Amino acid sequence: MQVKLRKNETVDNLIKRFMRKTKNEKITEEVLKKQYYKKPSVQKREAYFRRLKVLEKIKRKEAQERDD
């Protein structure tokens, strides 16, 4: 990833732009995630619980809309 200094741009703005780009491309999250090895069974279990959490949130939202 490259970020070039623009005309009349401060170094602080350049760093902010770089950080925004890495955040949008989720590079830092990926690095942190790959910092430690996770067994495939642990990854599946985490994904399962994430899906459950999303489904519960959707159910709550639908129930709230029905009540309104």
In the chain, where the domains are located: 1-36, 37-68
pLDDT tens per residue across span 17-61:
999 998 888 888 888 888 999 999 999 999 999 999 999 999 999
Rounded CA-CA distance 61/49 in Å is 18
Residue 1: its pLDDT value, please? 80
Structure tokens at 3: 């970020």
Rounded CA-CA distance 14/3 in Å is 7
- 8 Å CB contact between 4 and 21: no
DSSP codes joined into one string, 5-31: PPTT--HHHHHHHHHHHHHHTTHHHHH
CA atoms 40, 44, 49, 53: torsion sign: positive
